[in-house]
Amino acid sequence: MAKVNTTISLDPVLKKDCQELFSDLGMDLSTAITLFLKQSLRVQGLPFTVVRDVPNASTAAALAEYDEMTKDPEKYKRYDSFDALLEDALKDA
């Protein structure tokens, strides 16, 4: 099969790391990209799931609390040091 040269732009660290990974797997970067493209054609899409990172309920609540704290910082207790925070926390323990 005839081959055609294709130019892609990559971050140099990404390229080096991938070359090392694929070398350990017994192939070069060109072969790995060819595998990716063939698998994309086989599945008629990306050969892996692409999703956005959606925070879980606990993380979403913490982010919402942070937003609230930055909007109204005067409503929240502040500490000058970790020791002061720890002392206050241990009073209630």
**pTM (global) more than 0.85:** no
Give me the pLDDT at residue 92, please.
75
Give me the pLDDT at residue 4, please.
93
Q: From CA 7, how far away is CA 49, in angstroms rounded? A: 25
In this structure, is the dihedral angle defined by the CA atoms of residues 37, 43, 48 and 54, taken in order, positive or negative?
positive
DSSP assigned state of 26: T
Q: From CA 36, how far away is CA 25, in angstroms rounded? A: 14
Give me the pLDDT at residue 34, please.
96
Low-confidence ranges of the chain (pLDDT < 70): none
Give me the pLDDT at residue 52, please.
82
